[in-house]
Amino acid sequence: MKISAGLPTGVSAALFDSARRRRLLEARLSALLEERGFAEVLLPILDYFEPYRPLLTGRRLEQLYRFVDRDGQLLVLRGDFTPMLARLLAPHLDELELPLRLYYRGDVVRHQPLRPGRMREYSQLGAELLGGDEAEADEQMLTLFFDLLLEAGREAPEPVDGEEHALRVVLGVAGALDEALLAGAGEQEAPELAQRIASRERTAARRAGLADVVERGYPTDLSVLGGTAEAVSGLLGLRDRLSAAYRDAGVEIEVDLAEFAAAALDPRISVGAGRRGYYDGLMFAAYAPGTALALGVGGRYDKVFRSLSGDCSAVGFSCGLDLLLELGNAAPQS
């Protein structure tokens, strides 16, 4: 019988040099994380389905590969590190010494529609900071995020065009646009309008009185954002500080509320799907010219702990290792 070398849709094997390059990149990034005081955690690939019901809803829950094992237990394959880590730590928060700095690396599997460059099994590397002062933690984690991306891309060729930046990081606040849209458009129209604004439709943004969100990324008059105005104002300050610190490194940072708007008002989503996912405060995503997908995404997810009856501030991010390899063109290091 002839044995096929084919693999299921959305999975691939890293062989020979590609395996070596990935491991080398992982080692460099892990060394940086260890240097910053982050400890590695190794999480299982199998877990019970039940704990994820309150953490993930909508599309993200549907994307989990689940099956009944021989003991009759409903199990899932690891689809995300963050909620797994949160559910393991939440019952032990009282015993833990906060702030806690953790990182992980490994594969996740999600049954998601096939999109260019998007696999069903892919490798992630991520970090989480639990506890501590929220503003300080946000800034620390963003700094770490930039440093990891710069480390991954340190062998990337210089941008051909002097004005183009090697790395663009978009900052937002989960739900910031929701309030303005709900106030301006009402329950019925707001979700569709949010989708259209997130698709940069200028006419839709103007109709909602939020043209600035498409033009600049945020409204000139922050008061239209209601209760989230203060958070956005804080974010603008954070952007200015980080922009000054990373100007020479070729990182351009912008605030863009529309980037995280579309999923925010999707009625099918409450905690764990779409661009907003389980985030409930700061959100960020990094892009580079020539990569069609975000290199990494992250944000504040205190509500994940709240939904687990824990009270802990939490901020983290994850990066796609294959995308980072593409970014750096990762020449092997001796």
Partner 1 sequence: MITLGLPKGRNLGPARASLETAGLNLDGLVSARLRQRFPDQNVLGTPVEVLLLKDWDLPLYVEHGIVDCAIVGSDVLEETQPDIFRPLQLKDGRSRLSLIADTPELPKRSGQLRAATRYPTWAARLLAARNLHVEVIHLTSSIELGPLLDLTDVAVDIVQTGGTLRTHDLHEVEVLAEVAPTFVVNRASFHAHRRRLSGLLGSLEETETGDG
Distances in whole angstroms, Cα of residue 103 to Cα of each of 33, 187, 235: 7, 39, 25
Q: Which of these segments, 9-17, 109-117, 142-150, 171-179, binds partner 1 (CB under 8 A)?
A: 109-117
**Applying CB under 8 A, which of residues 17, 97, 161, 248 lies at the interface with partner 1?**
161
- Region label for 309, one of left (φ > 0), alpha (ψ between -120 and 50) or beta (otherwise): left
- By beta-carbon proximity to partner 1, the closer residue of 77 and 269 is 269
Does residue 170 touch partner 1 according to CB under 8 A?
yes
Residue 274 touching partner 1 (CB under 8 A): no
292 belongs to the binding site for partner 1 (CB under 8 A): yes
Gap between the Cα atoms of 134 and 139, Å rounded: 9
Single out the segment in contact with partner 1 by CB under 8 A; choices: 2-10, 79-87, 158-166, 183-191.
158-166
Cα–Cα distance measured from residue 184 to residue 66, given in angstroms and rounded to the nearest whole number: 41
Regarding 211 and contact with partner 1 (CB under 8 A), the answer is: no
Contact with partner 1 (CB under 8 A): which of 149, 294, 308, 319?
294
| Residue from 168, 187, 286, 173 nearest 227 by CA | 173
Least gap, CB of 168 to partner 1 (angstroms): 4
Region binding partner 1 by CB under 8 A among candidate stretches 61-69, 112-120, 227-235, 314-322: 112-120
Candidates 151, 100, 99, 87; CA nearest to 125 is: 151
- Residues near partner 1 (CB under 8 A), total: 29
| Cβ-based nearer residue to partner 1, 101 or 165 | 165
Determine, following the binding rule CB under 8 A, whether residue 160 of this chain makes contact with partner 1. Answer: yes
Closer of 44 and 117 to partner 1 (Cβ): 117
* Binding of partner 1 by 6 (CB under 8 A): no
| 199 binds partner 1 per the rule CB under 8 A | yes
Among 287, 301, 305, 317, binds partner 1 (CB under 8 A): 287
Taking the CA atoms of residue 327, residue 232, residue 312 and residue 123 in that order, the dihedral angle to the nearest 10 degrees is -10
Q: Taking contact as CB under 8 A, which single stretch among the options 98-106, 184-192, 234-242, 292-300 is the one that binds partner 1?
A: 292-300
Q: Shortest distance, CB of residue 23 to partner 1, whole angstroms?
A: 26
Query: Residue 23, interface with partner 1 (CB under 8 A)?
Result: no
Looking at 168, 239, 276, 300, which residue binds partner 1 (CB under 8 A)?
A: 168
One of 41, 121, 293, 303 touching partner 1 (CB under 8 A) = 293
Are 277 and 285 contacting, i.e. CB atoms less than 8 angstroms apart?
Answer: no
Report yes or no: 153 and 327 within 8 Å, Cβ to Cβ.
Answer: yes
Q: Is 247 one of the binding residues for partner 1 (CB under 8 A)?
A: no
Q: Which is nearer to partner 1, 226 or 289 (CB)?
A: 289
Contact footprint for partner 1 (CB under 8 A): 115-117, 160-161, 163-165, 168, 170, 196, 199-204, 214-215, 254, 256, 287-294
